[in-house]
Amino acid sequence: MPCTVIVGAFWGDEGKGKIISYLALKDKVDCCVRTGSVNAAHTVWMKGKRYALHMVPAGFLNQKCRLLIGAGANVHVGKFLEEVELTKVHNRIGVDYQASIIEEKHAIQDKTSAHLKGIGTTGWGVGPALEERVRRTAKLARDIPELQPYLADVSTEVNEGIDAGKNVLLEGTQGFMLSLFYGTYPYVTGRDTSAAAICSEAGVGPTRVDDVLIVYKSFITRVGAGPLPGEISKEEAIKRGWFETAAGTGRDRRSAPFDFELARKVAKINGATQAAVTKLDSLFPKCQGVREFNALPLEAKQFIKEIEKTTGVPVVLIGTGPDALDIIDRR
């Protein structure tokens, strides 16, 4: 498909990095555009090596994929340069000249501001950086000498690519339930995280999108404060094999069982046309490494079919292990 939006369904950590990296490799994606900011990491595993990326798009595994960071994103210059060196993508990554910059002062404000205490922010400084952008006083990528070799007009490049029939992925960060507008306010992030917002940050109009692929995990996790319906204890999460730590911050992830009604709601608001389910092997260990739907145990198949029935969205990709290629592809 020429243009697909990848959006997280719950409170983040759904495995978007895995799905994006798989699509980049399998579908030979031409262009991958990252939106959002440094406060969320996408985890990618390939041949036993783990990457936790805050800035570089997860599609980097495809050596021919053009990587871009949209105008609506916030760029942490140090982390960006560090990850460019790590992934060796110097000659194929671009940053929109109007993307805004996170400075050290923003991280300090994030950690010391009284009104943010108890919210559970990551401390990267994203909220204060966004406040400055709204005040029209933020530095932009075009103002930063170190970013000059990477500057790009992302919206023009992406739209010309779509016109040419190229395969484009728009890579959202965080999860929909952290949306500033639709999430569990005030325990949310500083931006909207919906599919529509991903399009806006990348500079792509909604009529140019062919598919919205919503990513679910077989159970729900969130970090920081705020409500989590059905939350279980850390001890119970460990017992079930659901206990995780956040890729970006190392914080413990709180856990809860899959919420079918919430899955239905977020699919509707985001206009999902396809769904992915990751970590099926955490819920059903016999699924580990399986790459054919018919080889799944009956209870795992029933779980997938229940998601499809409740949401009305076909589950086309199923993650059964950590590697980028540990996927059942039903497309």
96 part of the active site: no
Give the Cα separation of 325 and 327 in Å (integer): 5
Which one of the listed residues 27, 30, 42, 259 is annotated catalytic? 42
Within 8 A by CB and 6+ apart from 100, the residues are: 73, 74, 75, 129, 130, 132, 133, 138, 139, 140, 141
| DSSP symbol at 119 | T
> Quick check: helix, strand or coil at residue 29?
coil
Omega of the bond leading into 186 within 30 degrees of 0 (cis): yes
Q: Is 159 helix (H, G, I), strand (E, B) or coil?
A: helix
Is residue 53 a contact partner of residue 17, using CB atoms and an 8 Å limit?
Answer: yes
CA pair distance 163, 192, nearest whole angstrom: 27
- How far CA 25 is from CA of 46, 93, 331, in Å, comes to 11, 17, 15
Is position 163 annotated as part of the catalytic site? no
What residues are paired with 79 via a beta bridge? none
Candidates 13, 192, 281, 326; catalytic one: 13
In terms of C-beta density within 10 A (0-12 exposed, 13-18 middle, 19 or more buried), how is residue 111 classed? middle
Which positions ≥6 away from 294 have C-beta within 8 Å? none
Active site members: 13, 42
